[in-house]
Amino acid sequence: MKMTLEEIARLAGVSRSTVSRVINDDPNVNDTTRERVWQVVKANDFHPNTAARALAGRRSRVIGLVIPQALNAIFADPYFPLLIQGSAAACDERGYYLMLSLVLRQADDTFRWLIRARHMDGLLVASALAEDTFLTRLLDEHFPLVLVGRSPAHADITTVDVDNVHGASMAVRHLAQMGYSRIATITGPTNMVAALDRREGYLRGLQAMGIEASAGYMQAGDWSEGSGTQAMERLLRVTPRPDAVFVASDNMAVGALKAARAAGLRVPEDIAVVGFDDIGPAATAEPPLTTVRQPIDQLGYLAASTLIEQLESAPAAETDRAAQHIVLPTELVVRASCGQALRPAANYAAMQRVPSEGGVTYSQA
């Protein structure tokens, strides 16, 4: 049986508008009336028709999460469930609904539909490439948008990111302080900003410790475990062989550990490994993985909150205000794979966890 506002109004003995006010938490309603209306609403399990709502109110209370990557890459990566969880939690809290949107036929039709048909109020874009045409086109349409990560090409987007550079640099400096000097890195795909940032952090870390970088010590993977194994195999063939590796994701680090083991090397005695993420198998790896923790769920939560904030505050189409850039801190989680236990520098006792000095940073574009 189909319920409408009108019907509820009739049953509660008030006007349609009053019911509308009640279900929209408008303060201008008499408490008694409000109570009575709620009663009827509950009793009939009434839910307002979204289509009508969206049409009249010009908003749908749906936001989309779009990950412009191949489906199998998305599903293989333990990063995304956490991101989704965080975003969904924020949406829940604010009465929004999160839909995962596919962009399969790369960008084209789907994209237009997504935007022009106004099926959702805004978009969370995760894991975009450094040069992402999809992103560019969304911006051209002035569609409300928050980017998870950052995009050097577009300073005017609101972004929520973790401090990749600092996190990576911390990891490398830690390795150097543990006494390693031939420090290599396994990066993510070099068309992704997060991968580039972590590589940049790696380079800065080396520099800070007065170590010279070498091209042969940088091998790229694609975030997958298998690519970590392969990159590690390549590194082990380099002369002189690295004695430590900073790996840009835990997934790849686990793969790298396998390669080291297969080559008959002990970790961390022969070669140290530090990962990035602190998810999945980091803690239970053999040996337990020292890694840079990033708060992925918080990232999702903040991204969604920020988008919603923006949607609700924006005077209509005025989306192009000063973009916010939120950066979350990373922290180094020290376990066994970095040789901490092996060479316990006296002053490291209190450093089991080294928080980034960053904290949450707000800045204007």
Partner DNA sequence: ATGAAAGCGCTAACAA
Partner DNA sequence: TTGTTAGCGCTTTCAT
Nearest to 124 by CA among 72, 156, 86: 86
Residue 75 interaction partner, one of DNA, a second copy, none, beta carbon < 5-8 Å per kind:
a second copy
Q: Which residue in the set 33, 34, 81, 94 belongs to the binding site for a second copy (CB under 8 A)?
A: 81
Does residue number 262 form part of the binding site for a second copy (CB under 8 A)? no
Residue 17 interaction partner, one of DNA, a second copy, none, beta carbon < 5-8 Å per kind:
DNA
Residue 234 interaction partner, one of a second copy, DNA, none, beta carbon < 5-8 Å per kind:
none
Residue 34 interaction partner, one of DNA, a second copy, none, beta carbon < 5-8 Å per kind:
DNA
CB 131 within 8 A of CB 152: no
Q: Which residue in the set 24, 35, 106, 113 belongs to the binding site for a second copy (CB under 8 A)?
A: 113
Distances (CA, A) of 159 to 10, 162, 324: 47, 10, 6
Does residue number 88 form part of the binding site for a second copy (CB under 8 A)? yes
CB of 114 to a second copy, least distance (A): 8
d(CA 62, CA 279): 29
> Which one, 49 or 352, has the nearer CB to a second copy?
49
3-state secondary structure of 314: coil
CB 125 within 8 A of CB 160: no
Does residue number 238 form part of the binding site for a second copy (CB under 8 A)? no
Which one of the spans 11-19, 86-94, 126-134, 164-172 is the region binding a second copy (CB under 8 A)?
86-94
d(CA 129, CA 81): 19
Q: Are strands 97-101 and 361-364 parallel, antiparallel or unpaired?
A: unpaired
Q: Tokens 């890195």 correspond to what residue?
A: 185
CB of 111 to DNA, least distance (A): 18
Task: For 143, list phi and psi in degrees, rounded to 5.
Answer: -85, 135
> Which one, 53 or 204, has the nearer CB to DNA?
53
Q: Which residue in the set 97, 218, 263, 348 belongs to the binding site for a second copy (CB under 8 A)?
A: 97
d(CA 55, CA 151): 33
CB 290 within 8 A of CB 332: yes
CB of 16 to DNA, least distance (A): 5
CB 303 within 8 A of CB 160: yes
Which DSSP letter does residue 335 get?
-
- What does the DSSP assignment read for 47-109? ---HHHHHHHHS--SEEEEE--S-HHHHHH-THHHHHHHHHHHHHHHTT-EEEEE---SSSHH
Looking at the DSSP assignment, which residues form a beta bridge with residue 145? 123
Does residue number 314 form part of the binding site for a second copy (CB under 8 A)? no
Binding site for DNA (CB under 7 A): 2-6, 13-18, 20-21, 23-24, 27-30, 32-34, 48-49, 52-53, 55-58
Give the interface size with a second copy as a residue count (CB under 8 A).
44
Q: Which residue in the set 112, 237, 266, 321 belongs to the binding site for a second copy (CB under 8 A)?
A: 112
Q: How many CB atoms lie within 10 A of CB 57?
A: 11
CB of 317 to a second copy, least distance (A): 9
Does residue number 288 form part of the binding site for a second copy (CB under 8 A)? no
Which one of the spans 11-19, 35-43, 93-101, 338-346 is the region binding a second copy (CB under 8 A)?
93-101
CB 146 within 8 A of CB 122: yes
Residue 343 interaction partner, one of DNA, a second copy, none, beta carbon < 5-8 Å per kind:
none
> Which one, 317 or 350, has the nearer CB to a second copy?
317
Which residues would be at the binding site for a second copy (CB under 8 A)? Answer: 3, 45-55, 60, 62, 71-72, 74-78, 80-81, 84-85, 88-89, 92, 97-102, 104-105, 110, 112-113, 115-119
